[in-house]
Structure formats: structure tokens, C-alpha cells
Chain A
Amino acid sequence: MLSFDLLDDVRRMNKRQLYYQVLNFGMIVSSALMIWKGLMVFTGSESPIVVVLSGSMEPAFHRGDLLFLTNYHDEPVRVGEIVVFKVEGREIPIVHRVIKIHEKETGVVKFLTKGDNNSVDDRGLYKPGQNWLEQKDVVGRARGFVPYIGMVTILMNDYPKFKYALLACLGLFVLIHRE
């Protein structure tokens, strides 16, 4: 009955309305993209919002928590900060805390990280022979925290079918729904 109702809605639209619906859908997609890109400019980070994927920072962050990042280069890295960094050869960025920094007079910083819930530092996670991270490895630094919201992303990544189903439903709803 439901699908029949929806299709009926479409059938009753004229051409003008149909164009409107499609444009409306385009608006939603492009404004989402604009917000994301705008955040990138505003925060200086290539990925301003990340989802925590591991338990290595427990009990501060659990799997599925959301972090807001900034990455301003004129604010140097200091100990105690939680940085999100990428290691060569690893796809997924890591969220850990800085426990050691050495800064040259020229401002070049090298630093070492460790997860609050890990008993050793991260040298075992870096690429073989790498002892320090540098500014270029940093994706961002954690500034804000919201619990649980990232669970949706984790669900979507773990069950791709669920992701496509959800996207299809939302897309259809926007296209077909009449205002």
C-alpha cells in the first residue's frame, strides 16, 4: 500500500514539479558537500570530524564517539594534546595523545604519541625505523567531543548493505515526497 501511495504521488506531479524535486535533491547533496568543505577551510584540517574506531583511548573515548578537529599550523603541538595522525602504510588514522615533544629553534617539532589505554608508546605502530611523528603526519587535533553519534558510521561501514539501503531510502524519499 505504502509504495503504491508514493508512486501515486509521483504520478500526480507535473513536469515542473518533477524538476523541482530533482533540483531539491541536488540542493541537499551540494549543501552537505559545502558544509563539509567549508568546515575543512575553517578548521584547517583535511578531516574536521572523525569517528573513534578503537578502544585505545578508553575510558576517555569509546568506539563510536565523535571528535571535532582543528589543525592550525601556527599553534605548535604540545604534550597532553590528543592528535589524529596518519602513518605511512596504514589507511586508518589513529587518535592518540602526545607524550613527548622536541622542538628545534626553527620551529620544527618531532613528537611521540601513546594511547591512554595502551601500556607502551606508539613506536610499534609507526612504520619500521620511524621514531617520531612530524607536523605533516597530523590530520588534526581533538578540540570537541560528542559521544555515540559515530555509531551510525560504524554500522554503515560494518554492514555495507545497510548503508546502501539507507542511502536509497533517503534518496527516494527526497525525490518522491511532495511538499
Chain B
Amino acid sequence: MNSLLSRLNSLFAFTLTVMACLTFGCFLSTAFKEYGAPVHIAIGRVSVKNMEDFTGPKGKSDLGFLTFDVRADLDSLFNWNVKQLFLYLTAEYTTKNNAINQVVLWDKIILRGENTTINLKGLRPKYFFFDDGNGLRGNRNVSLWLAWNVVPNAGMLPLLAGQGTGHVRFPEVYEAGRSF
């Protein structure tokens, strides 16, 4: 009854049970938390070009250029069950071709313990802002929003958008020149 094996077995089972309970408690303790925060987004220079989409699809597409400022204090989002935040800045708009377009322009990972205040000025997109066709020129209604994916130690993976958007108005004429 009390052989070494059976003792090891119950010790192992007990350890596993305790760890599972603690992990579940960790998940429950933050399961109903709202991870919202205000965000300030301002747009700087804006222009649009028409060129070959060298990132993949064939044919000429509109390529948007812009600079932007982002300000946010995300300290309130962190708690003991947040391992990292994945921030992403998205441009969302409607075109003739597509009812909904969402293009991530910039992203950033904030690990626990890193600086949680975002204060960026005159930033350029990290990824090319190619449209699926020619829907950016003269597009007056492109909204920019910052959202985050909360990655926990254990638990759900919620996606939340910050309160506050920026609005981009693309000009009616293409900028000349092939440079970017």
C-alpha cells in the first residue's frame, strides 16, 4: 500500500491538482476585467501614390503614406495575469471594391515590466499601406485606431480597441515620383 511508487504517484497527482487549481484561479481572477484605455491619435503629413504592389498581388495599387502621433498610458491594463500587450494601429476604410478594409500599419509588443506609456511623434508606418485596388486616392474617411491583444499567463486572449480614433483624408491627386 505504501510503496515508494504509490507515494510518488500521489505526490505527483497532488502537485498537478494544486497547479491546475492555481492556474484556474489565476484565469478566473481576471476573466471579467475590462481592458480599456483612452488613446490620442493625431495625423501629420498624408499623401498617396499609385504603383506596382511589390509585396505580392499583381497590378497597380494605391499606396498610402502618412505620419502619425500616438499617445496612451496603458499602465492600468497590466495586472498579475498579463504577460504582454500586443499593440496594433489599424487603418480602417471602405472602398468601391470592398465593404471593409483593415490594414495594420504599426505594431508594438509591451512585456510586463517595460515602459507602459506610449508617446510617439511623427511616426511612419512599419508596414506598407497598400490598398486592394485603387481605393485610397480621394478617400476622405480612413479611420486610424489603436487596439491591443492582452496575452495572459493563463486565460482568455481578448482584443480591445482604445477609445479615440484619428481620421485621414487622402488627397485627390497622386504624388509624382517613384520614391517612398
Tell me the A residues contacting B by CB distance below 8 Å. Answer: 2, 59-61, 78-82, 97, 99-105, 110, 112, 116, 121, 123, 131, 142-147
B154 touches A146 (CB 8 A): yes
Task: State A80–B89 Cα separation when bound (angstroms).
Answer: 10
Task: State A99–B99 Cα separation when bound (angstroms).
Answer: 17
Task: State A116–B100 Cα separation when bound (angstroms).
Answer: 24
B84 touches A60 (CB 8 A): yes
| Beyond A79-B88, A80-B90, A131-B56, 8 extra complex contacts between A and B, CB < 8 Å | A2-B3, A59-B109, A101-B102, A102-B97, A105-B98, A123-B55, A131-B57, A145-B157
CB pairs A–B below 8 angstroms (5 shown):
A97-B149, A103-B101, A116-B107, A144-B157, A145-B157
Cβ-based interface call for B155 (8 A): yes
A18 CB, min distance to chain B CBs, angstroms: 23
Q: Interface residue count for B (Cβ, 8 Å)?
A: 34
Q: A103-B99, A103-B100, A143-B156 are in contact. Are A59 and B23 (CB under 8 A)?
A: no
Q: Which residues of A are found within 8 Å of B23, using beta-carbon distances?
A: 146
B157 touches A143 (CB 8 A): yes
A100 touches B149 (CB 8 A): no
Task: State A144–B151 Cα separation when bound (angstroms).
Answer: 9
